[in-house]
Structure formats: structure tokens, C-alpha cells
Structure 1
Amino acid sequence: MELRVLFSLIYSSGFLCVLKSQEPKTPDVTDLAFKNIDFAMNLYRKISSYHDKNIFFSPLSVSTSFATLLLASKGSTRSQMAKGLNLDSLDGTGDATLIPQLFEQLQKNISQDGKLHMEQGTALFVDERFNVERVFSDQIKTFFGADVNNVDFSETELSKSTINEYVSRKTGGKVNEMVTSVEPLTQMMLLNTIFFQGDWDSPFDPNSTEMSRFYVDKYNIVQVPMMVKEDRFSTAEDRELRARVLRLSYRGGAALLIVLPDATADYTVIDDEISAERFHRWIKNMRRTKMEVHLPKFKMEQSYNLHEILPHLGISSVFLHSANLTGLSKDAHLRVSQVLHKAVIEVDEKGTTAASVTSVGITAYSLPATFIINRPFFFFLYHEATSSLLFMGRVIDPTKN
């Protein structure tokens, strides 16, 4: 009798476990951060296909901008945007505010202790001919702290100066000329600013910085101010990609991950292989070791017309006259005219100022005890607690702004 009861209880609890395991997991901030890394790499690959120069942008800034529009869009316009942002798998709950809520939570996680100096600002500039729905303006204010501004785009110089003043104010003066020209027929402009300022956990000594060679390619060598520091650093090796990985930590919970291809490796091959899964593997397999690091000082300012790039990622409807943005305005034929992204980064001895499951092939790195970054490399600036990618780029020539 006792045996039968015991069997029954085990069977019942096992049945309950099976049922429970089948319940869909509600997406959280970690899922959003993971998905955003793969979106970042998709966008990076599209940008890199146009040229072989320096690249720098903020994937978090771009995805945040478009997440605001998810609240305004409906039908194929919305589904297309969610898929292009790599967020469609988070969008199956039927709750249109879930993704905006996740962005709100992520922002709170990044800024919660106040030690990390990072500010984001989202703004829509809509032509005054269109009436913006109150529900939409309230929602983007709630989830994104966003501003909706009516401007008269037919007054091109006035609207341009209004927008540039807004951006300059939001980025602490780091980005001063976001908009260079405004078309009189512009209907809506979407902007997201992101400003990051970080101090190294362990700063470099300016007295150790000296001019050194940087090998742009086989035929071009430039002289750059090279910072030098001996300390214990977190590092790993990705043998499959033939690259070394170095992490430099900031105060306040952010870090800069540098990926340096071997001298004999083609960095363009790495372009195709970087993913969220590999990014997490690098971090997981880091080991601290004493070494001497040589890192070039560099400063970059990059601008992108995303309305020209994003259609190649499947986000096109929102830019067409057929766009369904009825959640933003009931006025017909409203579409996004421009999406502008500008990012600025400066890496020096003090720190950085920036605006805008298996472990196959990855091992802890031990020898040699130097990490000399004197050839093209990739970098990823991320928030450590959430593994959220804030900025990313590649440096081909650190002397080019």
C-alpha cells in the first residue's frame, strides 16, 4: 500500500514537472540583450560591406529608436520591424508593450547604481501637419523617456538648428551637428542619442605612452600614440577564429572587449563569425593573467543614414508611403523620412568617452605575456551585469577620425 502511494506521488510530481517545463518562458532583459548582439552583428556586417574603413556605432541606440516605433506601427510594418531588429521571438506574447517594457528595464539596470555615466535620449521630430496620438506620446514617455516634437520641416534651417541643439544638449556637447540638411518634404525624423563616459578601473600612465607603429595592412604603416600598462588582465584565445580577446574594465560595471586577429589572419573572416553566442563564450572563458598591454589611443566620429542601410536588413515598410504608423497618427501616409545615427568615441589613458554552451576552440590565454594591439582590431563596449552591448566597432587605422 505504501509502495503504491509513493509511486503515485512520484509519477504525479513527474507529470507536473513535464507540464511545467512546457510553459513558455517570459522573455527578460537577458534575452533582449542577447538578441540585440546578433542584431548588432547583422547591422555591422551590412555597414562593413560598403567599405573597409573604421566603423563605430551603438546597436543599443539603434534598436531603442526602433523599439519606440513598435508602439506606433501595426500589421506588416510592425512584424517586419520586429524581425529586422531580431526581436520577433520576444514578440509572441500578444502584449505590444512587452518589448518596450524590456528596454525600460534594461535602461534601469544599466543606470541603477549611478556609477556608470551613460545617458540615452530618444526623440521624434514630426512635421506639424500631423497630429500625434496622445496614447503613443504617453507610452514612449513612460517606457523610453522620449520626446515628441512638432516642427515645421518646410522651414529647413529652423528645423535643422532645433534638432541639432537638442542633440548637442543630450550628448553633453559631444555631438554638435547631427543633421546637416533637411528636406522640405520631411515628415518624421527619428533620433536616439547615447552618451557614455567611463574611467578605467586601472588607468594607463600617460608618461608610458609613446609613438609606435600600427600596421594598417601589408603596405601601410602609421605612427600612433601607444599606451602601455603592465597589470593583471582578463584574456582568452579563440583558436577557431585565430584571434585573441582582451577585457579592460571600467569603473561602474562596463568593460571594453578587444578582439585582435592573428597577424596572419584575415579580419574580414571574423566579420562573418561573431555572434551573441560567441561573445558570451569569450566572456565565460576569460582568465586573469599578468601581462603587458599595448593599446593605441584613438578617437572616432561616425555617421550613418540608417534609412539607407536598414532596408537591407528587411526593415523597409516604415520608410514607404504604405507604412502603417496609425498608432502614432491617424493621418494617412505618415512615414519615417530619415533615421540618423552618429557615434563618437575617444579612448585614452584615463578611460573612454563615447557618444552615441560549449567552449570549442576557446581557451584561457597564458603566453606570451604581452598583448600588443598594433594591427586592425574589433572592440565591444558592454554593460557587464546584463551583457548588453552598448557600442561596437572596428579600428582599421587609429589615425583616421
Structure 2
Amino acid sequence: MILKASILFILPTLILINGQNVSNSLNEFSLNLLATTNSEAGDNLNIALSPFTIWTLLTIVSEGAQGNSLRQLVSVLKLNNNIKQVRSNYLAMHDSLLKEADGVHLDFSSAIFTNKKFNLRDSYQKNIKEFYKVNVIPTDFKNTKSAADDINNYISKNTNNRINSLVNDDDLRDAFIFLTSVLSFKGEWKSPFNRTATKPEAFYDEKGTKIGDVKMMYQNGYFPYTRVEAIRSYALELPYGSDGKMSMVVILPFKGTALANSLNLLSKFTFNKLLDYLEDAEEKFIDEEVQVYLPRFRVTSEFNMDRVLNKMGIKDIFNSQEADLLGILDQYLYISRVLQRADIEVDEEGTVAAAAAGASFAYKSPPPKFQANRPFMYFLVDKPTRSMVFAGKVSNPNSF
């Protein structure tokens, strides 16, 4: 008998212990996930993702995976083969995420809703509780409406009511396990935009054709900013809170460069190297102002991630005949779906979110202008651990 295991992901780091393995792994996976999702979604769809929470869910699954299922997860998630190191790094990351910071509010939790009739393997339950801080919640999946209400209430509570109704009865049909990883983030800009400076402006596609109008925010400020030839883009960092524990990194491809191309180049260049360049730029140009033009936007994305993850190389866990997850439960399980809904809102005060070859710095003639009036990428980053919490792109002003 084949039992389905439904996995839910909602809405996005890692403390560096014994090197940067875990941080690099997460960021590499995150860029690949955004690039693959962008390829599936197309140029005209805005995207909000939290790669971190998908990475977390699948890492928790990997604790109970065996054989080829485990090998695929380790490969795509870029996990270290040293499971003790992965666990200790994750635990340290969890603690770092939840540290309070002025102007930044972040809540993060993971839970497994389990069928009351079946118990998780003792060793699996012990490990996910101890190292991943997962809440194990027995649930009556026979009553799918009641189970959906329980899960939605948990999600709503842990996203400050920003996501209230993600799953329905059909999502839970035949489910024996339901995993959630929930993150809620609210950040206030260290240097807020002035609402009186926000004006309607044109937004263009990658070919330079006007496709709509946006409410363009504006300010002059001292922000890390650089031109990175290796990814054919400009990069800007906007910090949150008084201590800048978290920040938004905005990447604007050069005129005439497709966003997908810059994203693929960034995957090879690595996100950590981009952060190095921004830190270097901050030191070199600390006294130079930047003119920042950034649209006010809100993006909500809802995806079934199975196809994306399959294209990335995670295949067997979605196949009822091939999945090997016997380390989770003493039953034959496979993953029926990975659902994601993410929401991000950027305005003058801040952000509310419920995601190679050599490079050189260009001399910045004061004041340089960063004008995001064409498709761009954005990433929410935890600075102490240099890891992505959230990622996405804006390419269609008509679907804000």
C-alpha cells in the first residue's frame, strides 16, 4: 500500500561553523531554485520565493531518506555529507535567525502534522526535534476539513495572519504526513524613503518598451553599490533596522541584458562573492551618495514546486515506486506535492514578507543613479550568516 506524504512550504543564514559550507550550500540552491522557477514561470510573472524554507523542509526530509532518494536530496540541496556538521550548523542558524534586532521582526518555525494512527520512527523524531526544532503535531487526517483548519491556523499564527488559507480538503486527501516551514518577516528600512518623493514613473521591459507605470520611491543615501561586469548587472544593498542585521540586495541587469541571463551568471559567480563586492564597495565609497529609485510593490506567488524541484534533480521522492523514505515512518511514503505561497510587500517604510570570471568595480561619479525601472531581482539577506531568507524578481508592473 502506497501512502502519500504531503509537504507544504510557505514563505524564507546560516551561522558559519567549520567554514562556509552550509551558507554556500543554501545560497547555491537558492539561486538555482529561483532560476528554475523563473524559467517555468516566464518573463511576465513576478516571483516571490523563500528558498530557505524549501531548503529547510527538504533537509528535514533528507534525515529520513535512504538510497537514491537521499543521494538526490544531498546533491541538489548541496548538503555536506557530514550529517553532524549539517545538524550543528542548522541549529546555530536557527538561533541566529531568531535573535532580536532593532527594526527587524522575524519569526520562524517548522512543524510536522502526523497521522494519529502512525508514529514517526523514534530516531527520526528525536533528530528533527533536537536539531531542527520541529514541532510534531498529531492530526486526524480522516477529517480533512478539521486537519486543514488546524494547519491553516498554524500557518496564519506563524505568519502574523498574512497567509490564512493555503491548504484545502483536497490537498490533504490520503495524506499521512504534512510538513510546514513558516517564516514571517517585517523590516523597517534603516533609511526610509520619503513618501512625498514617490511619483508615478514608467516601467520598461528588457527590450526598452514601456509596459506600465509604477509608484517609484526615491531617496539619496549612503548605500553599498557597485557595477559587476561578471553578472552584467548593478547591485545595491538597502539595510534594515539600526544595526543592519538584515538587508535587501537588489540586482538590476544592464540595459539590454535579460534578467534570466544575469541570474544564470550570478549562479556561477556565487552570491557570497557578490556580498564580498558589496562590502568592498561600502568601504571604498563610504562617503558617496547613491540616487535610489525603487518601485513600491507587492508580490504574491503560489506554486506547486514539484516540477521545479524535479527539473533540479529531486525526482525519486515524488515517485510512488521509487521513493525511499522508510527512515521517517514504517510505511511506504512518497511526496505528493510541495506547495508554496509567499507574499512580499515593499514600501517607503520597509518590507513585510510572509526567498565567475573576474569582476571589477567601476569608479562612481557622484551621484550614481540606481534606477529600477526595468526587470530586477531582489534578495533578503541575514548579514551575520550571509544567507538568503527570501528571493524573487519584479518584471510586470501590471500585476502588483
TM over 0.5: yes
124 and 245 in structure 1: CA distance in 2 versus 1, 3 angstrom threshold: same
Q: For the residues of structure 2 that align with 1:365 and 1:183, how far apart are their CA atoms?
A: 56
- Number of residue pairs matched? 369
- Give the drift of 1:140: 1.5
> What residue is the counterpart of 1:73 in the other structure?
65
Q: 1:80 to 1:139 in 2, by over 3 A?
A: same
Q: Which residue of 2 aligns with 1:306?
A: 305
| Unaligned segments of structure 2, at least 5 residues | 1-15
- Work out which of the two has the higher radius of gyration on C-alpha atoms and give 1 or 2: 1
Contact 1:188–1:337 (8 Å) recurs in 2: no
1:110 to 97, 106, 115: 97
Give the superposed CA RMSD.
2.2
What is the CA distance between 1:137 and its match in structure 2?
2.2
Task: Summarize deviations over 1:36-79 as a string: whole Å, max 9, x none.
Answer: 11111111121112122111111111111111112222222222
Correspondent of 1:254 among 217, 240, 246: 246
Provide TM-score, normalisation by structure 2: 0.86
Q: State the Cα distance separating 1:376 from its structure 2 match.
A: 0.5
Equivalent runs, 1:10-49 vs 2, <5 Å: 28=18, 30-49=20-39
Q: Is the 8 A contact 1:56 1:393 kept in 2?
A: yes
Going from structure 1 to structure 2, the CA distance change for 1:276 and 1:389 (only over 3 Å counts) comes to farther
Quick one: distance in 1 between partners of 2:96 and 2:295?
31
Given that 2:231 and 2:263 are in contact with CA atoms closer than 8 Å, whether structure 1 keeps it comes out as: no
Question: By how many angstroms is 1:255 displaced?
Answer: 1.0
What does residue 323 of structure 2 align with? 323
Q: What displacement does 1:220 show?
A: 4.0
> Residue 230 of structure 2 contacts residue 269 of structure 2 at CA under 8 Å; is this kept in 1?
no
Tell me if structure 2 keeps the 8 A contact 1:191–1:339: no
- % identical aligned pairs: 27
Q: Is the 8 A contact 1:67 1:100 kept in 2?
A: no
SS of the aligned residue for 1:335 comes to strand
Q: Distance in 2 between matches of 1:104 and 1:276?
A: 28
Render the CA deviation track for 1:256-297: whole Å, top value 9, x for unaligned. 111111222222211221127442333222323212211110
Larger RCO of the pair (alpha carbons < 8 Å, separation 6+) = 2
**DSSP-derived class of the 2:191 partner:** coil
1:204 match = 193
Aligned partner of 2:160 in structure 1 is: 172
Deviations 1:165-209 (A, max 9, x none): 110011111111221442522232222111111111111111211
Q: Distance in 2 between matches of 1:336 and 1:74?
A: 14
1:293 alignment counterpart: 292
* 1:133 equivalenced with 2:125 (yes/no): no
Q: Any idea what the Cα deviations from partners look like across 1:294-326, whole Å, max 9, x if unmatched?
A: 111011111221233212222122223342222
Task: Please give the TM-score of this superposition, normalised by the length of structure 1.
Answer: 0.85
TM-superposed deviation, 1:399: 4.1
What are the equivalent positions in structure 2 for 1:54-93 lying under 5 Å apart?
A: 54-87=46-79, 90-91=80-81, 93=82
